[in-house]
Amino acid sequence: MRKGPLYWILFILIADCSAHAAGDENRIPALIPAPNKIEIHNGHFAITSRTVLLAEGEALPAARLLNHWLGLSGLDTLPIRSVSSPRTPFVAFSINSDTAEAYSLRIKPGSITLSGSVSGLLRGTSTLFQLLVSASGGKIPCLGIQDQPKFAYRGVHLDVCRHFMPKEFVLRYIDILALHKMNTFHWHLTEDQGWRIEIRRYPELTRKGAWRQGSMIGPYRDQRFDSIPHGGFYTQEEIREVVRYAQDRGITVIPEIEMPGHAMAALAAYPQYSCTGRVTEVARGWGVFDDVFCVNDSTFAFLEGVLTEVMELFPSRYIHIGGDECPKTRWKECPKCQATMKANGLRDEHELQSHFIRRIERFLNGAGRQIIGWDEILEGGLAPNATVMSWRGTEGGIAAARDSHQVVMTPGSHCYFDHYQGERNTEPLAIGGYTPLEKVYAYRPIPAELNANEARYIVGAQANVWTEYMYDTKQVEYMLLPRLCAFSEVLWTDTSLHNLNDFYSRLTPYQQVLKGWGLNYSTTWLLPDYRIEPGTRPGTLMFSLQSKVPQQLESAWGTPDTKPVFSSYTGPIALESNGTLYIRSNTSGTVKTQSFEFEFSKAAGATVTLEPEGDKAYRNPGSVLTDARIGSLPWTGKQWVGWLGKEPTITLDLGRSVRIDSVAITYLHDPVSWIHAPRACTASVDTRETRVETGIPANGIGRIVIPVDESIDKLFITVESIGKNPEGNAGAGEDGWIFISEIQVY
């Protein structure tokens, strides 16, 4: 009689039940995302060259995936068999009737059993792989895991348009997603700056539309360009390969074909589908462009042709049709668009956008597909069956869920991995924003505003990787990891099990797994947190460090004429004069150095009251204005306070009476980012006021110096804004920002 794998599993389980290993390691292994239920037992399973993988039929992809990943890590692969011989230690992959992505993993001294549905096995394979990589001396602790995801939609997006990423990297990206138990890859394939998918009906899309003749270099505010052609695209064969590769890892690929905006590349290839007929160039700079698809029948015929080929390539239920950031400028002046509005009784261009989306939805629904789009698709009325990706905060998601539409949450505040992950100016150039690891970890996809019934429509969340400032694949890895590690736990592991310190303690050894694949992950999160507080005497400060993980800390004080000499950090450091404080951390061999410049004035450590407080991500405590640190660029993190459309009053309490002759206020002027220098600042002492106008500011960091020849202990500063963003500037007519970083008195 041929004995199937189950027979041998039973045989060995019984034969081995008396086995007990000495020296048990009862610690919880470094798994990410953390499993929902884990029990550690005595003993271990030892991997040797005799270990075999038992798998057949539908279980084979999981066994092959394990081997593929072992290979990527430079580890030996294990032979795959359909039956085991007695006493051979084995890893059995067995299909059961479990739902969706649940799996169970049992590790005993002589056997490992992984069971689940086809996709459950793939999720369990990531757990098993992580255990194998971190097994010290080939020993995996005996344990039992019962696991299933918290959210059904766990997505990661990649923009291959701003910078083209080769197919090989897309495959690697999919492996990274699967390793973190993500199940959806949102492939952003078309943009202003490049069309990346071969469409056989319309060859110009890739012949012309896949290439731009130069790119923006450096930060957006500099508006500098090179003239190096950039581009690339995926052939239909390559797309099929990517889709298959993802399928073998339990990942659905959702293609995004952007419309009606972000379409300059398509319009450069086929200008007849623009309103003016005169678009000639694939965009070289980042941003939002006025030229968009013209809303008329010939454009729809063209887009239906494109989408027909897209559907042939992608079996996913969802097709992403973009819908975001579509200016209505051209439509307002275009006779064809106006005729479409008239013929359909549409009142304004927002309804025209809605008409556009509904018409594309009807076409895709007719072919058995569903549309998904960015939250602008809510404007002018949501298409009946659409799923919404809420990116401009949570409001879009809340509105859509209340309207019984499915929602994927992807708010910029927590899910945009193109934002900075460190506040230090040593981070590579990024688009802006500040989304450190702990912020991602703290994300909760279900908005508190929703009741339980509405919350059911939040199917999950997605991390977005926009690549304006990611010039190559190494940079993408750096921005993705380890934030994806945190994000995967947000989406997979029940909230009751979340614990930031525990996550850090797992992430430290987990770096082995990332290193094994040669991934360029960021170690910014290893930097200790710091606090700068008023010192024991007025005019002085106290600097202290808090580690997130066990590490050695050293500090050194440097001035222009002394070289820093590090010594062990033992506690808070008192500061009272200008200079640079260096901090060095060593976390199991990963050494990182940071430096803090201090520029003291009599205001250092002064108590600051802000009226009103700052807005949104720039609501930092007033103390950052008197911490003797001039805010740096980019204005990430904690150094600046920003007010949107407001004129703040800032009160300084110096804690004693001092003689001064001037007050200096540091501001930022960056009109392309809607940040404008104040029009003027006024310093008031008792009833005397001195007002100084800024004049014509230069771009960047500037100072307003107000002469105040007085003895003071308190000082009031009122900041006047220039009003709305002026004509001819970014965001003209909208509220602008005021950014202040430091107030000094001399």
- Residue of 241, 290, 324, 438 interacting with ligand TNX (CB under 6 A): 324
Contact pattern from residue 660 through residue 689 relative to ligand TNX, giving x for each residue in contact according to CB under 6 A and a dash for the rest:
------------------------------
Nearer to ligand TNX, 441 or 466 (CB): 466
Prior bond to 33 cis, omega within 30?
A: yes
Closer CB to ligand TNX, 238 or 325, in the complex: 325
Give yes or no for residue 431 binding ligand TNX (CB under 6 A). Answer: yes
- Minimum CB–partner distance for residue 296 and ligand TNX (Å): 25
The residue within the footprint of ligand TNX, chosen from 187, 318, 356, 391 (CB under 6 A), is 391
C-alpha–C-alpha distance, residues 121 and 65, integer Å: 10
Nearer to ligand TNX by C-beta: 466 or 569? Answer: 466
Q: Tokens representing 318?
A: 């969802």
- Minimum separation from the CB atom of position 608 to ligand TNX (A): 32
Residue 659 CA from chain centroid, whole number: 49
Nearer to ligand TNX, 175 or 418 (CB): 418
Residue with Cβ nearer ligand TNX (302 or 391): 391
Q: Which is nearer to ligand TNX, 45 or 416 (CB)?
A: 416
Nearer of residues 431 and 446 to ligand TNX, judged by Cβ = 431
Phi-psi region of 727 (alpha: psi -120 to 50; beta: other; left: phi over 0): beta
Per CB under 6 A, 325 contacts ligand TNX: yes
- CA angle in degrees (0–180, nearest 5) for 627-631-633: 160
Considering the complex, state which of residue 127 and residue 467 has its C-beta at the smaller distance from ligand TNX: 467
The smaller minimum CB distance to ligand TNX, of residues 69 and 289, is found at 289
Smallest separation, CB 291 to ligand TNX (Å): 15
Distances (CA, A) of 627 to 247, 425, 542, 708: 53, 17, 10, 21
Min dist CB 449 to ligand TNX, Å, is 22
Distance in Å, CB of 432 to ligand TNX, minimum? 8
Task: Please report how close the Cβ of residue 116 comes to ligand TNX at its closest, in angstroms.
Answer: 34
Judged by CB under 6 A, the number of residues near ligand TNX is 9
For ligand TNX, the closer CB: 326 or 545: 326
Beta bridge partners of 592: 585
What are 207's strand-pairing partners? none
Between 382 and 743, CB nearer to ligand TNX: 382
Among 211, 331, 466, 543, binds ligand TNX (CB under 6 A): 466
Q: Is 613 in the site for ligand TNX (CB under 6 A)?
A: no
Q: Is the dihedral of CA 395, 406, 418, 303 positive or negative?
A: negative
Q: Which residues contact 105 (CB under 8 A, 6 or more apart)?
A: 112, 113, 114, 124, 127, 128, 143, 144, 145, 147
Contact with ligand TNX (CB under 6 A) among 211, 234, 331, 374: 374
Which of 219, 528 has the CB closer to ligand TNX? 219
Q: Classify residue 343 by burial, with Cβ atoms within 10 Å: 0-12, 13-18, 19+.
A: exposed
Closest CA to 675 of 704, 627, 640: 640
- Residue 554 contacts ligand TNX per CB under 6 A: no
Structure tokens at 735: 């509220």
Residue 90 structure tokens: 């084995």
Closest CA to 64 of 173, 175, 186: 175
User: What's the one-letter identity of residue 591?
Assistant: V
Q: How far apart are CA 625 and CA 631, in angstroms?
A: 9
Please report which helix (H) or strand (E) contains residue 479, including its range: helix 473-480
Q: How far is the CB of 716 from ligand TNX (least distance, A)?
A: 38
Count the Cβ atoms, other than its own, within 10 Å of residue 282.
27
- What is the bridge-based pairing of β-strands 579-587 and 641-644? unpaired
Does 395 interact with ligand TNX (rule: CB under 6 A)? Answer: no
Angle 425-431-433 from CA coordinates, rounded to 5°: 70
Q: Which of 598, 563, 602 is nearest to 578 (CA)?
A: 598
507-536 mask for ligand TNX (x: CB under 6 A)?
------------------------------
Single out the residue of 175, 256, 349, 418 in contact with ligand TNX (rule: CB under 6 A).
Answer: 418
Q: What is the DSSP letter of 687?
A: T
* Residues 379, 300: Cα–Cα separation, whole Å: 20
Q: How far is the CB of 441 from ligand TNX (least distance, A)?
A: 20
Least separation in angstroms between CB 157 and ligand TNX:
9
Residues lying near ligand TNX in the complex (CB under 6 A): 324-325, 374, 391, 416, 418, 431, 466, 468
